[in-house]
Amino acid sequence: MSLLQRKIWNVLLANAFDDLLSKDEYSIKIKDLAEILNFDSNDIKIVKEAVTKMQTMLVQWNVLEKDDEIWISTQFLGEVKITKKGGVICYTWGKSLREKLHNPTMYAKINLAIQSRFKSKL
């Protein structure tokens, strides 16, 4: 995953976090996304390419229950709709992934202002 993809995904997650369990679709203004990312280009094509690549990535995990094991596979990022005239990106995640993402013990939260200063993956 590229640094830009990771940054975009983190912004989308932060934007949706409070509503992960109550909504199926989320939205953010393109100008807000660009501002948070310190993205100085008006070329939405770069964002489209990044989200398209994230849609081809899979997240897979096993859930161990008392009497069973469940395997789950889902897209890293679900459906994405970009309305150029309205300047909005709408996006989704699968229900199982939303439940995992809403569990803060699964990962550390990164301040998006600090993230915007990252220059490489390492």
* pLDDT confidence of residue 113: 53
Residue 47 lies in a domain: yes
Residue 26 within any structural domain of the chain: yes
Give domain status of residue 8, yes or no: yes
Q: Distance between CA atoms of 78 and 72, rounded to whole angstroms?
A: 15
Would 80 be classed as within a structural domain?
A: yes
Ranges of residues in the chain whose predicted pLDDT is under 70: 106-122
Nearest to 75 by CA among 100, 97, 91: 97
Q: Which domain holds residue 63?
A: 3-105
Q: What is the pLDDT of residue 52?
A: 97
Count of the separate structural domains present in the chain: 1
Predicted local confidence at residue 7, as pLDDT? 92
Would you say residue 117 lies in a domain?
no
Query: What global pTM score does this model have?
Result: 0.82
pLDDT of residue 121: 53
Domain-located, residue 70: yes
| Domain membership flag for residue 41 | yes
Q: Is 66 helix (H, G, I), strand (E, B) or coil?
A: coil
What integer pLDDT is reported at residue 57 of this predicted model?
A: 97
pLDDT computed for residue 122 by the predictor: 47
**Any domain includes 111:** no
Q: What is the CATH number of the domain that holds 31?
A: 1.10.10.10
Alpha-carbon distance of 80 to 94, in angstroms, equals 12
